C-alpha cells in the first residue's frame, strides 16, 4: 500500500470517528446595546455632583455606554450568561470609577472594560428550582428604592402552583479596615486592629414570595436582611414589605410598602437603631394613542444626626432609583450613564438621610416611527434639618424621538426645574446648615441621544 492510500484511509477513518462521537449542541447568543448622550446643561458638567449655584455656567459634554452580552446556552436548563460594559466620556475622565482614565482621551488606550454580569443559570435536576450563581442583576420589590444593582451571589427560584418563591444570598462587601468594633456606651470604638478580609463583610439575604391570585392580580411579601460583620460584631438591618400589582380595565397599578428596623451604620463606627419606612404607588392608564403615567413616593427621613435613625436605608448610594418618576433633575434618570445626577448633588435618593416625598405624572405615546413623552413632578425632603423649607422643586421635561431603524433611535430631551423654597435665600438645606445668602439658578438640561440595541 503506497503512502497516498495510507493517508486517505487514515483521513477517512478519522472523519468517521469524529462524526460518530456525540457532539454537544451549544447555542451562542450575542446581545448588547450602545447609548450616547450629548448634554448641554447648567446642572452637571461631566463630573460627579450637581452644579447648583448662582450664575452657574452652561456646559456641554458627550458620554457613551456600550454593553456586550454573550450567552453560552447548552439547553433550556443550562446556560452561562456574561455581560461587559464600556463607559466613556468624550475627552476622557479620571475619577474613582476610572482611576487611570476611561479611554476617551487622546489616543484612547485605557483599561476600561467592566465586568457587569458573569453567572451560571441552570435548573436543579429533579426539582422545580432554578439557580443563578455568580455576578448577576438584582431588582428589589420596592421600585428600586432599596437597591437595583449587580452583585455576586446565588439566587434560587421555585414555582409551585400560583406561588413563586425566591431566596437570594449576596456578599456585597468585604472589609480589610483597621477597625476593632467593640461595644461602648456610646456606640463602637476604633482601636486600630486590622482584621483580614474574611473577618469583615456585608451580606444580603433576600426572601421574596409572590402569589398570583388571578391573571390580573399578584400579591407579594419580602424580607431583606443586610448583615454587617466586622470582627466579633454583627448588626442587622431588616426590611420587610408588601407589594401588589393589578390590572383593572385600562389601568395597570403597582404598589409597595416597606418597614425597616434593626441596626445600621457599623462601617461609620456607630451602632444606631433604625426605624424607617417607605412606600410607592405606580400607575399606567391607557388613553388615546398612549398612556398616562402617574406615581407617588414616600421615603422617611431623619430630623437630626443623633439618636434613633428614621431615614430609609438603601443598600448603598448609587444603586437606588425610582425610575417610575421619569425625571431628569429631581430624581436621577435610569437611562443616564455616569456623570448626571439629581438636585442635592448626590446619587442617594434620600438626599443623605433627609428622605423624599414626590408626586409625578406624564404622558407617553407613539405616532408611526415617532415617540414622545412629557412629564411634570414635584419633590421635597421628608424631614428638613436646618432649612427653612423642605421643598426641593418642580420639574418639567419632555422627549421626542424617531426610530431610524427597527433597533435604533434618536431623541431630544429637555428638562427644567423650578427650585423650591429649600433653595431660596437661606439656602441651608443639604448644605450642612451653612447659610450662603444668595439664591441658586434654576437648573436645566438638554440632551441628544442615540440608542441601539441588538
pLDDT of 329 > 90? The answer is yes
- Residue 311 cell numbers, joined: 431615614
Closest CA to 206 of 236, 167, 159, 165: 167
More confident residue, 338 or 211: 211
* pLDDT at 383 (0 to 100): 87
Which distant-in-sequence residues (6+ apart) come within 8 Å of 72 by Cβ? 26, 27, 28, 79, 80
Q: What is the mean pLDDT of residues 310-330?
A: 90
- pLDDT tens-digit readout, 156-189: 999 999 999 999 999 987 654 433 333 333 333 3
Q: What percent of the chain has pLDDT over 90?
A: 55
pLDDT of 234 > 80? The answer is no
**Cβ atoms of residues 319 and 204 within 8 Å:** no
Based on C-alpha coordinates, what's the Rg of the chain?
26
Q: Report residue 214's pLDDT band, with 50, 70 and 90 as the boundaries.
A: very high
Q: Report residue 199's pLDDT band, with 50, 70 and 90 as the boundaries.
A: very low
- Residue 361 cell numbers, joined: 405624572
* pLDDT at 100 (0 to 100): 63
Burial of 246 (0-12, 13-18, 19+ CB in 10 A): middle
Q: What is the mean pLDDT of the chain?
A: 82
- Residue 144 cell numbers, joined: 428600586
Count of beta carbons in the 10 Å neighbourhood of residue 98: 20
* pLDDT at 193 (0 to 100): 34
Give the distance, in angstroms, between the CA of residue 326 and the centroid of all CA atoms in the same chain: 14
More confident residue, 47 or 89: 89
User: The CATH number of 29-66+160-453 is which of 1.10.10, 2.40.160, 2.90.10, 3.30.1300?
Assistant: 2.40.160
More confident residue, 175 or 425: 175
* pLDDT at 291 (0 to 100): 98
At residue 354, φ and ψ (nearest 5 deg) are -75, -20
pLDDT of 198 > 50? The answer is no
- pLDDT tens-digit readout, 125-168: 999 999 999 999 999 999 999 999 999 999 999 999 999 999 99
Boundaries of every domain in the chain: 29-66+160-453
* pLDDT at 432 (0 to 100): 44
Region of poorest pLDDT, from 46-50, 79-83, 436-440: 436-440
b/e per residue 52-63 (b: at least 16 CB within 10 A): beeeeeeeebbb
Q: What is the mean pLDDT of residues 376-381?
A: 95
More confident residue, 395 or 348: 395
Q: What is the mean pLDDT of residues 362-367?
A: 97
> In DSSP terms, which residues pair with 415 in a beta bridge?
397, 445
* pLDDT at 237 (0 to 100): 87
Which distant-in-sequence residues (6+ apart) come within 8 Å of 12 by Cβ? none
Region of poorest pLDDT, from 15-19, 53-57, 336-340, 359-363: 15-19
- Whole-angstrom distance, CA of residue 79 vs CA of residue 119: 9
Q: What is the mean pLDDT of residues 370-390?
A: 87
Of 188-197, 312-321, 398-407, 423-432, the range with the highest mean pLDDT is 398-407
Q: What letter does residue 19 receive in the DSSP assignment?
A: H
Closest CA to 204 of 173, 175, 179, 176: 173
pLDDT of 431 > 60? The answer is no
* pLDDT at 433 (0 to 100): 44
- Whole-angstrom distance, CA of residue 346 vs CA of residue 233: 30
Q: What letter does residue 309 receive in the DSSP assignment?
A: B
pLDDT of 20 > 60? The answer is no
> In DSSP terms, which residues pair with 452 in a beta bridge?
34, 408
Q: Report residue 297's pLDDT band, with 50, 70 and 90 as the boundaries.
A: very high
pLDDT of 79 > 60? The answer is yes
pLDDT of 197 > 50? The answer is no
Give the distance, in angstroms, between the CA of residue 418 and the centroid of all CA atoms in the same chain: 26
State the residue for C-alpha cell 450568561.
Answer: 81
Q: Report residue 22's pLDDT band, with 50, 70 and 90 as the boundaries.
A: very low
Q: What is the mean pLDDT of residues 280-285?
A: 98
Q: Is the pTM of this model over 0.75?
A: yes
SS3 17: helix
Closest CA to 449 of 157, 34, 72: 34
- Residue 36 cell numbers, joined: 450616547
Amino acid at each position: 500500500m503506497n503512502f497516498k492510500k495510507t493517508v486517505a484511509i487514515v483521513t477517512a477513518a478519522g472523519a468517521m470517528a469524529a462524526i460518530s462521537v456525540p457532539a454537544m449542541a451549544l447555542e451562542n447568543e450575542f446581545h448588547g446595546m450602545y447609548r450616547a448622550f450629548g448634554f448641554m446643561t447648567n446642572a452637571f458638567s461631566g463630573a460627579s455632583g450637581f452644579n447648583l449655584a448662582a450664575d452657574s455656567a452652561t456646559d456641554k459634554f458627550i458620554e457613551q455606554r456600550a454593553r456586550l452580552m454573550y450567552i453560552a446556552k447548552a439547553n433550556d436548563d443550562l446556560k452561562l450568561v456574561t455581560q461587559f460594559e464600556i463607559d466613556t466620556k468624550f475627552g476622557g475622565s479620571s475619577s474613582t470609577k476610572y482611576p487611570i482614565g476611561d479611554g476617551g482621551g487622546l489616543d484612547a488606550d485605557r483599561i476600561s472594560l467592566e465586568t457587569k454580569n458573569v453567572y451560571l443559570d441552570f435548573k436543579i435536576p429533579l426539582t422545580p428550582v432554578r439557580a443563578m450563581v455568580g455576578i448577576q442583576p438584582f431588582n428589589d420589590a420596592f421600585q428600586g428604592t432599596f437597591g437595583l444593582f449587580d452583585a455576586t451571589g446565588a439566587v434560587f427560584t421555585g414555582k409551585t402552583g400560583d406561588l413563586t418563591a425566591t431566596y437570594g444570598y449576596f456578599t456585597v462587601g468585604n472589609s480589610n479596615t483597621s477597625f476593632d468594633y467593640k461595644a461602648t456606651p456610646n456606640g463602637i470604638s476604633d482601636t486600630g486592629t486590622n482584621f483580614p478580609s474574611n473577618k469583615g463583610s456585608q451580606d444580603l439575604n433576600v426572601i421574596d414570595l409572590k402569589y398570583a391570585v388571578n391573571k390580573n392580580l399578584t400579591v407579594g411579601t419580602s424580607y431583606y436582611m443586610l448583615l454587617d460583620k466586622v470582627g466579633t460584631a454583627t448588626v442587622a438591618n431588616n426590611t420587610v414589605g408588601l407589594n401588589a400589582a393589578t390590572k383593572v380595565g385600562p389601568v395597570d397599578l403597582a404598589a409597595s410598602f416597606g418597614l425597616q428596623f434593626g441596626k445600621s451604620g457599623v462601617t461609620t463606627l456607630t451602632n444606631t437603631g433604625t426605624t424607617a419606612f417607605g412606600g410607592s404607588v405606580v400607575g399606567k392608564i391607557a388613553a388615546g394613542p398612549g398612556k398616562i403615567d402617574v406615581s407617588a413616593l414616600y421615603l422617611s427621613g431623619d430630623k437630626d444626626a443623633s439618636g434613633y435613625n428614621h431615614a430609609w436605608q438603601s443598600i448603598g448610594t448609587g444603586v437606588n432609583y425610582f425610575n417610575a418618576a421619569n425625571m431628569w433633575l429631581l430624581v436621577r434618570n435610569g437611562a443616564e450613564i455616569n456623570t448626571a445626577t439629581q438636585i442635592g448633588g448626590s446619587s442617594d435618593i434620600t438626599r443623605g438621610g433627609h428622605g423624599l416625598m414626590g408626586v409625578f405624572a406624564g404622558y407617553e405615546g407613539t405616532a408611526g416611527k415617532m415617540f414622545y413623552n412629557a412629564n411634570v413632578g414635584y419633590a421635597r425632603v421628608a424631614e428638613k434639618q436646618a432649612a427653612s423649607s423642605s421643598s426641593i422643586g418642580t420639574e418639567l421635561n419632555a422627549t421626542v424621538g424617531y426610530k431610524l431603524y427597527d433597533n435604533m433611535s434618536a431623541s431630544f430631551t429637555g428638562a427644567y426645574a423650578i427650585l423650591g423654597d429649600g433653595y431660596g435665600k437661606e439656602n441651608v438645606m443639604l448644605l450642612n446648615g451653612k447659610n450662603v445668602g444668595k439664591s441658586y439658578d434654576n437648573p436645566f438640561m438638554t440632551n441628544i441621544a442615540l440608542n441601539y440595541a441588538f
